[in-house]
A and B are shown apart, each in its own frame.
Chain A
Amino acid sequence: MVKYILNRLLVSLITAWVLVTIVFFLVRLLPGDPFLSEKVTPEIKANMMRYYGLDKPIHIQYVTFLQNLLKGDFGYSLRYKNRTVNEVIKQAFPYSADLGIRAVIFATIAGVTLGIIAALNRNRTWDYLAMFIAIVGVSVPSFVIGPLLQYVFATKLNLLPVSQWKGFSYTIMPTFALSLGSLALMARLMRASMLDVVNQDFIKTAKAKGLSPFQIIWKHQVRNAILPVITVLGPVTATLLTGTFVVEQIFAIPGLGKFYVLGIQNLDYSLVLGMTTFYGLFLIAANFVVDIIYGLIDPRIRIAK
């Protein structure tokens, strides 16, 4: 097990290095440069390039970047002057993580519940209703759901604040809007998996043993069916926790999401690299944790490893 973990750790590190290297060179291939603006003159731009060390040969920039990265230093943002990328992430990540955790919890509980209800009522009204919600959740994008929620609950009913992140009431609409997609995904996975498990021999055995339907469903069916949900939980958590552009934008949440887009738009090299590395490491870590949870839930996996 220890050897397996170390092995996985090494692979993860190599993945991370390949990732940042590719992004480092790709972002510099984008047309334009960070200091292009309508007003800037060539001499002034040269001053700015020199200030940020962008006038040096690219291989030297790359070595410097890697050295700083090993120290966990992403450098100064080229756009948000006087602020380091570390600070930007440190300030914004808690908001994204807060929203993300809420969304993951809500999506998992509601998604799994919907999936179970649908599976137990296969081809009946509840199944159709649950799957209708799931399909709506997958197909209606958050930039539609978000403003719709704002219009109904904030502007018309005046029940919730339109936007921002200042207390529990502020979290409800963004959490719902953000979780809807994952909720739907989990509901569909859970339903399919439940239906798969219900025909297995061990369920028949349990029934034959005379266990109560509740015990069969909870102890045998759900526990076995939940594995696919756990599998997607890793990437879903990483995605939701590290910020999403649309939902944060619509609800004016000061999270990380916007920096993925603005970083590219502004050609803020250090911000793009910082964000990519951060997200990459987060994703790798999340997958790692999922592997361990897997082992806990399914002893067969633990033994096989």
Chain B
Amino acid sequence: MLKKSLAVVLALVLVAGLLAGCGQQGSQQQGGQQNKAKEIAFTIGAEVPSLDPQKATDTYAILVGHHIFEGLVRVHNGQVQPGMAEKWEVSEDKTTYTFHLRDAKWSDGKPVTAYDFEYAIKRLLDPNTASEYAFQGYYIVNGEEYNTKKITDPNQIGVKALDEKTLQIKLKVPVKYFESLLSFISFMPVRKDFVEQMGEKFAADADKLLYNGPFILKEWKHEQELVLEKNPNYWNKDAVKIDKVTIYVVNDANTAFQMFENGETDWEYIPAEMVEQMEKEGKAKYFYDGAEFYLQFNVKREGKPWLANENFQRAIGFAIDREALIKAVLKGVSDPATRYVLPQLAGLEKTFAEEYPYEFYSKNADVAKAKEYLEKAMKELKINDPSKLTFEYLTDDTQRAKLTAEFIQDQLKKNLGINMTVKQVPFKQRLELMTKMDYDVVFAGWGPDYNDPMTYLDLWVTGGRHNDTGWSNKQYDELIQFAKTTTDFKKRADAMFEAEKLLLEKGPIVPIYFRKRAWVCNDRIKGLVTDFIGATFDFVYADVQE
């Protein structure tokens, strides 16, 4: 008996011994990391699928790309700053841009030229590149035509390097946000000889890319970490204070948060279940990430004419208590969407919301108003019983989507007596059902592609690529068309505001919330900027103060 007990004890001691021995090693490493100056670390939630500027699409590629590449301009804290282009001129009709490039070098020492930009933009639009974000180049003369194979000669595209230092871009129509758009990853320069030399392997690893941004990618251990180092060749290197950045790939949000708590990283998103505690400790910070979520009605749905009824749509919109939804499902992190256009988007001088304040829906449910709209709708539809106005609510298969659906279901039942069923499907399937218009009402979202209300508004024009609602309104189309072609930016903003009001009053869209993210940041980090377009975290000019 004694012998047997001894065996168990020995086994346990062996395991315990392993635990103790390595603990020291681990804590030493952590200690060492904290002492080094001007080094920062953070996590991203997934591997970067591609750093090829013309093929990248996801938020992590955009974040990393913002720091290792530089376009003609750089957007920092919402402001357009000169980048590779030192200065530029815009023609009278606001459709021709002439950029003058500064002396700048690629990470292999060769100069960055206007030809690199011309090549990159043509590469973006080349149908054989198969770039998902090619549409970002559709503003350029013949950009869309070339990408959709209506023309085959790339020389007809409105981008041309006049010499090594001068680049000319011609647009189809004036685009107010074109400068800020040029900071988007799709427009980052790439060098022809290098891309061709690398072939299919271009951008597959750290040594298969060239860099011209504030940092260079020193190491890329796939699925594990990316190491960035300050670029000694960067033209504005004196303004860059950080020497080294380690970006860990950590899929699990709770693990990532524990790494922050252990001092291994400098900032992190707060998992939903930790928000209250962090708020209590006074550590929680918030920022808008640009995403908006709304209900979208299929107005062409057979057998359910109420889905196309404007008053029915408004009834639903007023019956939902947005504030209570955000509190219950999102732990209070997000803002009720009482209008359609994301309030932070740029207006003429200030934000669009500051220049055009408006509230269509209220933060809380307005049951009286909702019932009024419902009465009108039922009269128009000649239906007496609201429980007959059923519909299926399509949403993703995540836990958060489920809770949101249940909350809305409950509100509609309680406030209007309307029965709604919930259908949860995987993300890609939801997109497919939307594209095929095989749904009643869908909980959908949109993130801005550029800093202008148009990124939300032009979705709903007749025949719009993303208009999966079947909705068509001549007045709306005209307003958008006017806004897209006029050179008078004040009139343009007025038209967009009219369009927004029209959409809220008559359109198939019921805004629910503007998403906010809760995060924590180490006090030693200064000058870190969050942005709702482009790089979520911008540390180009950040600093470390112990």
Residues of A within 8 A of B (CB): 31-33, 35-44, 47-48, 50-52, 76, 79-83, 87-88, 91-92, 110, 113, 117, 120-121, 126, 147, 150-151, 153-155, 157-170, 172, 249-252, 254-255, 258, 265-267
Nearest Cβ in chain A — how far from B232, in angstroms?
Answer: 27
Q: Check A39 against B148 for contact (C-beta < 8 Å).
A: no
- Complex: chain B residue closest to A264, CB-CB: B426
| Size of B's binding interface in residues, CB under 8 A | 72
Contact digits for B433-466, partner A, Cβ 8 Å, 1 yes 0 no? 1010000000001110100000000000000011
- Taken residue by residue from 277 to 298, chain B's Cβ proximity to chain A (1 for < 8 Å, 0 otherwise) reads as 0000000000000000000000
Given contacts A47-B134, A169-B25, contact A252 B429 (CB under 8 A): no
Are A267 and B428 neighbours in the complex by a CB distance under 8 Å?
yes
What chain A residues lie within 8 Å of B223 (beta carbons)?
A: 91-92, 254-255, 258
The interface of chain B, by Cβ under 8 A from chain A, is: 1, 4-5, 7-8, 11, 18-23, 25-27, 29-30, 47, 49-50, 52, 55, 57, 127-135, 147-148, 200-204, 208, 221-224, 248-252, 254-256, 258-259, 261-262, 264, 425-429, 431-433, 435, 445-447, 449, 465-466
Given contacts A38-B431, A150-B258, A163-B250, is CB(A81)–CB(B50) below 8 Å? yes
**In contact, B221 and A126 (Cβ under 8 angstroms):** no
Q: List 25 A-B contacts (CB under 8 A).
A: A31-B428, A37-B431, A39-B132, A39-B135, A42-B465, A43-B148, A44-B132, A44-B135, A50-B130, A51-B128, A82-B208, A147-B254, A161-B26, A161-B29, A162-B262, A163-B255, A167-B22, A167-B25, A168-B25, A169-B26, A252-B251, A254-B249, A258-B223, A265-B428, A266-B428
Contacting residue for A38 out of B148, B258, B262, B446, CB 8 A: B446
Report the Cα distance A52→B129, complex, angstroms: 11
Q: List chain A residues, Cβ under 8 A from B134.
A: 44, 47
Task: State A271–B223 Cα separation when bound (angstroms).
Answer: 15
Find out whether the CB atom of A47 lies under 8 angstroms from the CB atom of B250: no
Of all chain B residues, the one with the shortest Cβ separation from A256 is: B223
Contacts of A76 in B (CB 8 A): 200
**A258–B251 touching, CB < 8 Å:** yes
A37/B57 in contact, CB under 8 A: yes
Q: Which residue of A lies closest to B30 (CB)?
A: A161
A82 with B200: CB separation less than 8 A: yes
Residues of A within 8 A of B5 (CB): 126
Quick check: B26 and A159 within 8 Å, CB to CB?
Answer: yes
Q: State which of B132, B252, B427 has its C-beta within 8 Å of the C-beta of A250.
A: B252
Q: Nearest chain A CB to B155's CB is how many angstroms away?
A: 20
Nearest CB of chain A from residue B306's CB, rounded to whole Å: 27
Beta-carbon contact of B255 and A43 below 8 Å = no
Name the B residues within 8 Å of A160 (CB-CB): 19, 22-23, 26
The 9 A-B residue pairs whose C-beta atoms are closest, nearest first, are A169-B22, A159-B23, A254-B223, A32-B428, A51-B130, A81-B50, A82-B204, A254-B224, A31-B429
**In the complex, what residue of chain A is closest to B29 when comparing beta carbons?**
A161
Contact A126 B262 (CB under 8 A): no
Asked if B133 and A39 make an inter-chain contact with CB atoms under 8 angstroms apart, the answer reads: yes
Q: Which residues of B contact A41 (CB under 8 A)?
A: 135, 465
CA distance A166 to B18 in the complex (A): 16
- A39 vs chain B, min Cβ distance (A): 7
The chain B residue sitting closest to A169, CB to CB, is: B22
List, in ascending order, chain A residues with CB within 8 A of B52's CB.
81-82
| Known pairs A33-B432, A39-B132, A48-B132; A113 contacts B7 (CB<8 A) | yes
CA gap between A167 and B47 in the complex, in Å: 21
Known contacts A79-B49, A164-B250, A252-B248; 7 further A-B pairs (Cβ under 8 A): A76-B200, A147-B254, A150-B258, A163-B259, A167-B22, A251-B255, A252-B252
Q: Which residues of B contact A249 (CB under 8 A)?
A: 251-252, 255
**Distance of A153 Cα from B466 Cα, bound (Å):** 49
Contacts of A110 in B (CB 8 A): 11
Contact across chains for A172 and B258 when beta carbons are under 8 A apart: no
Complex Cα spacing A273 to B431, Å: 23
**A265 — which chain B residues lie within 8 A by C-beta?**
426-428
- CB neighbours (8 Å) of A126 from chain B are 4-5, 8
Given contacts A31-B428, A41-B135, A81-B52, contact A162 B264 (CB under 8 A): yes
Whether A47 and B264, one on each chain, are in contact in the complex, defined by CB atoms closer than 8 angstroms, is: no
Q: How far is the CB of B200 from chain A (nearest CB, A)?
A: 7
List A contacts of B465 (CB < 8 A).
41-42
Q: Give Cα distance in the complex from A51 to B327, angstroms.
A: 45
B510 → chain A closest CB, angstroms:
18
A126 vs B3: C-alpha distance when bound (angstroms)? 12
Task: With both chains docked as a complex, state the minimum distance between the C-beta of A103 and any C-beta of chain B, in angstroms.
Answer: 14
The answer, among B23, B130, B435, for a CB contact under 8 Å with A36, is B435
Q: In the complex, what residues of B have CB within 8 A of residue A153's CB?
A: 19, 23
Inter-chain CA distance A40–B135, complex, in Å, is: 8
CA distance A44 to B135 in the complex (A): 8
Tell me whether B29 and A121 are in contact (CB under 8 A): no
* Chain B contacts for A81, CB-based, 8 A: 49-50, 52, 55, 203
Task: Specify which chain B residues have a CB less than 8 angstroms from the CB of A80 in the assembled complex.
Answer: 47, 49-50
Task: Report B44 CB to chain A, min CB distance, Å.
Answer: 11
A37 lies within 8 A of B130 (CB)? no
Nearest CB in chain A to that of B1: its residue: A121
B262 and A155 contacting across the interface, CB-CB below 8 Å: yes
Q: For the complex, what is the distance from the CA of A251 to the CA of B223, rounded to whole Å?
A: 12
Contact residues in B for A168 (Cβ distance below 8 Å): 22, 25
Question: How many angstroms between the C-alpha atoms of A42 and B467 in the bound complex?
Answer: 13
Q: Kindly list chain B residues whose C-beta atoms are within 8 Å of the C-beta of A159.
A: 19-20, 22-23, 26-27
Cα–Cα, bound, A64→B19 (Å): 51
Decide: B221 and A254 in contact? CB cutoff 8 A.
yes
In the complex, A157→B223 CA distance in Å? 28
Which partner residue on chain B sits nearest A267 by CB separation?
Answer: B428
Contacts of A147 in B (CB 8 A): 254-255
Kindly provide the distance from the CB of B373 to the nearest chain A CB, expressed in whole angstroms.
Answer: 29
Kindly list chain A residues whose C-beta atoms are within 8 Å of the C-beta of B221. Answer: 254
Contact partner of B147 among A47, A170, A254, CB < 8 A? A47
In the bound assembly, the distance between CA atoms of A238 and B135 in angstroms comes to 45
Chain B proximity of A50: nearest CB distance (Å):
7
Q: In the bound complex, do residue A83 and residue B19 qualify as a contact, i.e. CB atoms below 8 Å apart? A: no
Indicate if the CB atoms of A254 and B432 lie closer than 8 Å.
no
With a cutoff of 8 Å between Cβ atoms, the chain A residues found around residue B25 in the complex are: 167-169
